[in-house]
Amino acid sequence: MKLVKIFWQRLSRPSKAASGVLLGLGFVGGILFWGAFNTGMEATNTEAFCSSCHAPIVAEIRETIHYSNRSGVRAICSDCHVPHEWTDKIIRKVQASKELVAYALGTIGTLEKFHARRGYLANREWQRMKANDSRECRNCHDFDFMDFSEQGRRSVAQHSTALASGEKTCVDCHKGIAHRLPDMRDVEGWQ
Amino acid sequence: MSTLESIFWHVLGYSAMPVIFIVGFIGVAAGSLWILSLGVDRDR
């Protein structure tokens, strides 16, 4: 409490320094703070960071088209699992702070624990994507620019009807596109 | 995720933003005061 009082007294008393010096300190301090904050945000968006807990699931993407393809474009974990818009990203990051507790408790600390929880984890992510109309898919895949003449018959049938009308969203059909599927027995539409 | 859980995390997420800005301000202010205390404001 004493420290807070001293801090407040210092803040409320004019400094002997010139206004330019004070403004400069605030300006440089602001840049440093924002740089450090963004660095932290970027660091927690890297594949290496995700792998520190989700190593088995991160390895699985290497077998999919989202990792290796003819054009060399690839998605990393955060491209699909972290919103790109700043506000939504902050909300997701705060939400993810709960996962630190799971890390401390070792909830998926072993391969066996991870496999046992896989269905729950996948289901949560599917629900999140369904609720936001597969927003992270749509960061790259834009319905308006889909060329139906380049798609298979089944894809055209689904995309031109259910997807176009908004009745279904990407993740309703495209589950397990970057990871192996969990036990799908209780998943709607997969029986 | 249940609706209640969604509301909870959204409220917490939105509250985090002003907290981040205020903590940033306090951090920069504390750093600046410390730098000033080494020089022109040494006797304060």
Chain B environment of A34 (Cβ under 8 Å): 24
Cβ contact B32–A95 (<8 Å): no
Cβ contact A87–B29 (<8 Å): no
Assess if residue A14 is contained within a domain: no
CB contacts < 8 A (A, B) = 71
Higher pLDDT, A132 or A191: A132
Query: Tokens at residue A143, please?
Result: 């319905």
B11 has a chain A CB within 8 A of its CB: no
Q: Which of A12, A13, A16 to mutate to test the interface with B (most CBs of B within 10 A)?
A: A16
pLDDT > 70: what percent of chain A?
99
Assess if residue A96 is contained within a domain: yes
Provide the pLDDT for residue B4.
Answer: 84
Assess if residue B8 is contained within a domain: yes
Chain A environment of B29 (Cβ under 8 Å): 7, 11, 29
Look up the domain containing A87 and give its range: 29-173
Q: Name the minimum distance, in Å, from the CA of A164 to any CA of chain B.
A: 26
Assess if residue A139 is contained within a domain: yes
Assess if residue A2 is contained within a domain: no
- How many Å is the maximal CA-CA distance in chain B? 57
Assess if residue A160 is contained within a domain: yes
Assess if residue A7 is contained within a domain: no
Chain A environment of B16 (Cβ under 8 Å): 90-91, 93-94
Assess if residue B13 is contained within a domain: yes
Assess if residue A92 is contained within a domain: yes
Assess if residue B18 is contained within a domain: yes
Give the ranges where chain A is alpha helix by DSSP (H): 2-12, 19-43, 47-60, 77-81, 86-96, 98-105, 111-131, 135-138, 153-158, 164-165, 170-173
Checking if the pLDDT of B2 tops 80, the result is no
Q: How far apart are CA A64 and CA A82, in angstroms?
A: 19
Provide the pLDDT for residue B7.
Answer: 85
Assess if residue B6 is contained within a domain: yes
**Interface predicted TM-score (ipTM):** 0.75
Look up the domain containing B20 and give its range: 1-32
Cβ contact A92–B13 (<8 Å): yes
Number of domains in chain A: 1
Cβ contact B41–A17 (<8 Å): yes
Q: Report residue B44's pLDDT band, with 50, 70 and 90 as the boundaries.
A: low
Query: Tokens at residue A103, please?
Result: 């890390």
Cβ contact A25–B35 (<8 Å): yes
Is the whole model's pTM more than 0.90, yes or no?
no
Q: Which of A12-16, A39-43, A48-52, A163-167 comes out lowest in average pLDDT?
A: A12-16
Chain B environment of A131 (Cβ under 8 Å): 1, 6
B24 has a chain A CB within 8 A of its CB: yes
Number of domains in chain B: 1
Higher pLDDT, A74 or B13: A74
Q: Report residue A167's pLDDT band, with 50, 70 and 90 as the boundaries.
A: very high
Question: Does residue A183 contact residue A176 with C-beta atoms inside 8 Å?
Answer: no
Cβ contact B24–A16 (<8 Å): no
Q: Which pLDDT tens digit goes with each residue over A110-164?
A: 889 998 999 999 999 999 999 999 999 999 999 999 999 999 999 999 999 999 9
